[in-house]
Structure 1
Amino acid sequence: HGPGFDVWVGGGLSTNPKLGVRLGTWVSLDEVPDVYEGVISIFRDYGYRRLRNRARLKFLVADWGAEKFRQVLEDEYLKRKLTDGPAPAEPAGRWRDHVGVHRQNDGNFYVGFAPRVGRVDGPTLTKIAELAEAHGSGRVRTTAEQKMIVLDVVESQVESLVAALEALDLRVTPSPFRRGTMACTGIEFCKLAIVETKGRGSALIDELERRLPDFDEPLTININGCPNACARIQVADIGLKGQLVLDDEGNRVEGYQVHLGGALGLEAGFGRKVRGLKVTSAELPDYVERVLTRYRAEREDGERFATWAARASEEALS
């Protein structure tokens, strides 16, 4: 049928997480606006918008199921049947992000880089803009993984741009820990947060790079300051939900509930919670180092962290 999209609806995280479900249909580029309008119109007309705790499409989809949702979409809103389509093929590559140097379809290159847990100050943003204008077309993009991309770089300018970004501590070839760690705003700027996130994540990256310098497996560590999951803790390899916990002396201190082995994509699933597994902020580097060391010792050839975490003993994850 040419280029198009597989349609998924009803995903959402926060305190009641649900994975999106496939409608089993393929839509062409021209059909996207109609299908988009139809889906949000179903939420407008049938969604639980008067119920504050259920005013999300995910609750309607969970009650209806994919088959009924597609039928209502076709019969009441599109007035036509959608094309049946298979699930997309699994993507190639170990990392599913935009970090590094990659060729664009037009022959130019884009350069993706990793700030520390998504934090970039104003002066640094200005320097990034100047680099994008000097080396490319001035186009810059942000990603859903708290990374940034400079677009439209000619091949002769790539090396210069990479060197300039690295000089600003914006890594084009980051460690797995810099590449895969993200954090929400945290207590510094968010009234809902309970704990610090950005500073904690940055310090964790430094510690893990020092302690595990040869670790080279894809890994995501998502840090959230409260249960609302802006940093998507349930679908990270290691998800950390901020809360106050008791230390060894019985004091209430900043800490995290741990979720292990979550993932997005075609093997999506929510992270596993081990009963009573919480770590204080001070213990966090020790805990992550311990779990990753067990993973490397017990994994099978080519086994992802999420797959290992699903089968590992509670003792190995504690």
Structure 2
Amino acid sequence: MTTRPTRSKSNGAWADGDRTPLNHNEEFKQEDDALNVRARIEEVYARDGFGSIAKDDLTGRFRWWGLYTQRKQGLDGTHTGEDDLDDEYFMMRVRSDGGRLSTEQLRVIAGISTEFARDTADISDRQNIQLHWVRIEDVPEIWRRLESVGLSTTEACGDCPRTMLGSPVAGIDKAEIVDGSSALDIIKREYIGSPEFSNLPRKYKTAISGSPVLDIAHEINDISFVGVVHPELGPGFDLWVGGGLSVKPIFAQRLGVWVSLEDVPAVWHGVTSIFRDHGYRRLRNKARLKFLMADWGPEKFREVLERDYLGRALPDGPEAVAPAGSRRDHVGIHEQVDGRVWVGAAPIAGRMTGTKLTRLAELAESVGSERVRFTPHQKVLVLDVEPTRAEALAEDLKELDLEVFPSEWRRNVLACTGLEFCKLALTDTKNRARWTVEELEKRLEIDVPFSIHFNGCPNSCARSQVADVGLKGMLEKKEDGSHEEVFQVHLGGALGEDTALARKTRALKVRGDDLPDYIERLARTYLAQREGDESFRLWVRRAEEDDIR
């Protein structure tokens, strides 16, 4: 009797020769390119209203144009995971690759916010602006206004190349190794909105920076090019692939190659093509590039890239390493290469308004600037300021709750959208972050970086696993049957220097209302026990469990 060989279950990779859709997302992407939904929005849905929108467009293809339905108001976290959470309003992401905006563009976004989005405007850690309360009837006019100044929402969400991170001080930083802006522009012009990459297995995050402080969180992006100097070939980029957080955090890995500025678009095209062709499409929770890289390893990934997609070898290259003690957020007043300065300011957790953005444009122009930048750390920079006017601008920015010389609490806080608008969230984040920061500022001055990241669910949009204190929102049932917001605490995570995932302590949860008390106690214990200039993250990795509870 012969035994049939067991056939392994397909992972859905197109390169295996079978493009049969293995889940509903793959079905609707194959039925109609998601980019095509724009015509239906403009010609049908904006005219006939929310009720006319087909389900696969509403919950699927709309994302390719930066649109998600937001959470119905009045539903607390106990309703997360239920049906019918969709409100008849949208969150809209405005794409701003590299966080680059002119004051004219900023004014247009601000006007859209005040006229169509109830004055909402949040800076995300992808260097873009998120608006809320957008009606489908207004979307064509919003697009018209954005596109009149060179902006768009194209592929700001979806299984495609999303907004690309870039150094917010590209081209002006005195210490810059290489300016990657031209490569970012070529990729955007050639491939964003192209059917060639509009059907990837999952979202795809790009980062390009020639800054020596490695300011684009390259460790947690799908593909990153970070500046490095080759001993023979000169300035170029170190290539990292396969990073991502969420419920299965994995750091990117180096391919060990050196990439010239001119070669970045071709290498980006090759890596993105590998993801399209070899990425896992059967299970959504295994479809990110990080899972392919984890299975292949960097040696095989490089071999396939060079042999099958580039048709040539890339030179070996050195690893990019940030200087010890360097900051990535560019907050403060810093001299530019041309003798002028940039002024970097911190809002609390990226929260702004359209009204504030209009005033920001006015203040920038009042000191002769026409360029503003958002950073991957939810910060705001005004470029090209005359040094004699920088201090006055810093003082004026305070009226917008933008601090150029912030406390460490304010400087190092991040927060995702949270329960206010997000259908995945279990807890509030933005308001919790503000309250916690303001309470800590009253209680304790701390003299070293101390990051607190608020996440409303496990997906880590605010990078909870790589913060000094990472907070993951949860709900806990009380004896009377009601629920309260609690946060699971992760400690000692970091990117850059001392890169590591946070320590998750046994059953360490803190009530939302107790966060300032807990963090104050934790910080005071650290300050009392630190050795010399020991950072919080290094201390907490060796601390006794009783000291971090």
After TM superposition, the score normalised by the length of structure 2 is: 0.56
* Percent identity of paired positions between Structure 1 and Structure 2: 57
In the alignment, the residues of structure 2 paired with residue 203 and residue 247 of structure 1 have an alpha-carbon distance, to the nearest angstrom, of 24
Unaligned runs of 5+ in 2: 1-232
The letter for the 2-side match of 1:156 is T
Aligned length: 317
More off after superposition, 250-259 vs 187-196 = 250-259
Map residues 7-22 of structure 1 onto 2, 5 A cutoff: 7-22=239-254
| Deviation, structure 1 residue 203 | 0.5
Partners of 2:325 and 2:497 within 8 A in 1: no
The letter for the 1-side match of 2:517 is D
| Deviation, structure 1 residue 96 | 2.1
Is 1:293 the equivalent of 2:530? no
Aligned partner of residue 276 in structure 1, secondary structure:
strand
The letter for the 1-side match of 2:537 is A
Partners of 1:95 and 1:218 within 8 A in 2: no
| CA pair 224-265 structure 1, distance change in 2 beyond 3 A | same
In the alignment, the residues of structure 2 paired with residue 95 and residue 248 of structure 1 have an alpha-carbon distance, to the nearest angstrom, of 45
Map residues 100-139 of structure 1 onto 2, 5 A cutoff: 100-139=332-371
| Deviation, structure 1 residue 51 | 2.3
The letter for the 2-side match of 1:111 is V
| Deviation, structure 1 residue 79 | 1.2
Determine which of 262, 270, 274 is the counterpart of 1:38: 270
In the alignment, the residues of structure 2 paired with residue 88 and residue 107 of structure 1 have an alpha-carbon distance, to the nearest angstrom, of 27
The letter for the 2-side match of 1:241 is K
Which whole-Å deviations, capped at 9, do the CAs of 1:152-204 have from their partners, x for residues lacking one?
A: 11112212211111233210000000000110111011111110101100010
Aligned partner of residue 274 in structure 1, secondary structure:
strand
Corresponding residue of 2:470: 239
More off after superposition, 174-183 vs 102-111 = 102-111
Unaligned runs of 5+ in 1: none
Map residues 207-222 of structure 1 onto 2, 5 A cutoff: 207-213=439-445, 215-222=446-453
The letter for the 2-side match of 1:178 is R
Map residues 44-63 of structure 1 onto 2, 5 A cutoff: 44-63=276-295
Corresponding residue of 1:261: 492
| Deviation, structure 1 residue 90 | 2.7
| Deviation, structure 1 residue 136 | 3.1
Considering only aligned residues, what root-mean-square deviation do their CA atoms show, in Å? 1.5
Map residues 145-156 of structure 1 onto 2, 5 A cutoff: 145-156=377-388
In the alignment, the residues of structure 1 paired with residue 496 and residue 479 of structure 2 have an alpha-carbon distance, to the nearest angstrom, of 39
Structure whose CA Rg is larger: 2
Determine which of 382, 393, 410 is the counterpart of 1:161: 393
| CA pair 151-209 structure 1, distance change in 2 beyond 3 A | same
Q: Which has the higher contact order (CA 8 A, sep 6+)?
A: 2
Partners of 2:246 and 2:458 within 8 A in 1: yes
Partners of 2:453 and 2:463 within 8 A in 1: yes
More off after superposition, 49-58 vs 39-48 = 49-58
Corresponding residue of 1:223: 454
Partners of 1:136 and 1:151 within 8 A in 2: no
| CA pair 2-131 structure 1, distance change in 2 beyond 3 A | same
| Deviation, structure 1 residue 23 | 1.0
In the alignment, the residues of structure 1 paired with residue 421 and residue 366 of structure 2 have an alpha-carbon distance, to the nearest angstrom, of 33
In the alignment, the residues of structure 1 paired with residue 335 and residue 326 of structure 2 have an alpha-carbon distance, to the nearest angstrom, of 17
In the alignment, the residues of structure 1 paired with residue 546 and residue 364 of structure 2 have an alpha-carbon distance, to the nearest angstrom, of 49
In the alignment, the residues of structure 2 paired with residue 182 and residue 49 of structure 1 have an alpha-carbon distance, to the nearest angstrom, of 31
The letter for the 1-side match of 2:467 is A
The letter for the 2-side match of 1:314 is E
After TM superposition, the score normalised by the length of structure 1 is: 0.96
| Deviation, structure 1 residue 279 | 0.5
Partners of 1:245 and 1:278 within 8 A in 2: no
